[in-house]
Amino acid sequence: MAYLIKFAASIDIFNKLPRYSLFTIIIKRSAMRYFSKHMLLILTTFLLSGCAKQWQPSWNQAVSSNNQQPVEHLLEQAREKYAKSDNGEKLSSSIQAYQSVLKADPNNYEALQTLSTQYILLGTAYTEKRAEKAEYFKQAIVYAEWAMYTNPQFREKIEQGMKPWQAADALTARESEAMLFWVTAIQYEFKEVMSLYAKIINVDRLNHALTIINRIQEVNPQFGGGAVEFCKAICYYALPSSKGGDKQKGDLAMQQAVTHGEKWLLPRWALGKYYYPIRGEDIKAQQELAWVASQDITKYNDPLPWRVHFRENAQQLLQ
């Protein structure tokens, strides 16, 4: 801050010097070089401290499973609401229902992983405000991590000081949804919330996501209806080559996503919204979006709230 004050004061002094004197020109150039060096240091420090995402555990929200209460009735109500959540209001009601489950059973895996995907959808489909998106995606990450934390072996590693991607080898097929939603929330936060500077500083988060994706494929290779492979394609395309980015691997992952997701809308929507536009193939993108927009969504396996989003978003992009 002291340098900023000096910089501002120097500008005022410059304004009082004779405009065209050689002395003034020399002094201004020397001073600007001096302050430029310090301003660069200040800006760099600001970016590193303010934009870099430092992983912080959310485990303080988890409590002992000894506090569990019977929740099957609450779960049935929450499932029913989620299955009918074809708009933002119903989705919010469904979220409240699953939060009621957590009040009775704070470590209920189904409620935790479902809340994670619900908050992702809330952030990407039902708000355009960056601050709200940031909060929703953050909540999605918290719930996904909390769900993974219900695995005792993973929990032990985290309590030893490891981060989720460092403890990924403890995760099992049981935690597949939590892993996928953690990756998805990380990627949505990266795309829809972060500034360019923040993306540069936090690019390693995509490598952490790849670690989790690889773990899903190790323990549950048929899981996800193409979503896991699509997430992998995003990482390979978004990462610079110096950080492991590889467009050929991204192309292969996207092909696998379509193959594995024949009964899911996600892969075809992803082709139209992300994959073909990145490759500059706009005609193919329009064709895929038109296909998604015309589908009878009752024929696909994606959860209804996501099916509704895919079709509505495709229709919007075609306008």
State pLDDT tens for residues 89-108.
999 999 999 999 999 999 99
SS3 breakdown of the chain: % helix, strand, coil, rounded to 5?
75, 0, 25
Amino acid at 195: S
Q: Count the Cβ atoms, other than its own, within 10 Å of residue 304.
A: 16
Kindly state whether residue 140 falls inside one of the protein's structural domains: no
The Cα 70–Cα 247 span in angstroms is: 49
- Closest by alpha carbon to 220, among 253, 170, 265, 175? 175
Asked if 317 contacts 273 with a C-beta cutoff of 8 angstroms, the reply is yes
Query: Number of structural domains, the chain?
Result: 1
Kindly state whether residue 247 falls inside one of the protein's structural domains: no
Kindly state whether residue 104 falls inside one of the protein's structural domains: no
Q: What's the average model confidence in pLDDT over 288-299?
A: 98
Q: Count the Cβ atoms, other than its own, within 10 Å of residue 162.
A: 15
The Cα 104–Cα 122 span in angstroms is: 24
Kindly state whether residue 93 falls inside one of the protein's structural domains: no
pLDDT at residue 127 tops 90: yes
The Cα 149–Cα 58 span in angstroms is: 9
Determine the structural domain holding residue 28 and report its residue range: 1-50
Quick one: CA dihedral 209, 210, 211, 212, positive or negative? positive
pTM, full prediction: 0.82
- The tens digit of pLDDT for each residue in 198-218 reads 999 999 999 999 999 999 999
Q: Give the model's confidence band at 120: pLDDT under 50 very low, under 70 low, under 90 confident, else very high.
A: very high
Predicted pLDDT of residue 70: 82
Kindly state whether residue 298 falls inside one of the protein's structural domains: no
